[in-house]
Amino acid sequence: MINITIDNPDIEQILQQTYGNNHSRLIKEFSQFVQSTKIKDDISISIQQFERGESVKLADAFAQVKRNYEE
C-alpha cells in the first residue's frame, strides 16, 4: 500500500470539495489517472522510437504491451 501526503492546501481543498469522504472514488480515479498517464508516456516513447527507425514487428509490439498491462 502506498500513502500519499498532499502538502498543498489548495489541492487538498479541491480534493475535499470534489470527493468529500468518498475515499474509494478518489482512489479509483487516481488509479485511472496514473494508468492513463503511463499509457500516454508509453505511446510517446513508441513514436520517438519509430521516428528513429527503431520499429518492431506488430505481433511483437502487441505481445509486449499485453505483458506490460496484464501484470
Task: Measure the CA–CA gap between 68 and 51, rounded to whole angstroms.
Answer: 22
Alpha-helix runs per DSSP H in the chain? 9-19, 23-51, 58-70
Average pLDDT taken over every residue of the chain: 90
Residue 6 DSSP one-character state = -
Q: Does position 62 have pLDDT exceeding 80, yes or no?
A: yes
What is the model's pTM?
0.63
Tell me 20's DSSP state.
Answer: T
Report whether pLDDT(34) > 80.
yes
Grid coordinates representing 11 are 489541492
pLDDT at 54: 87
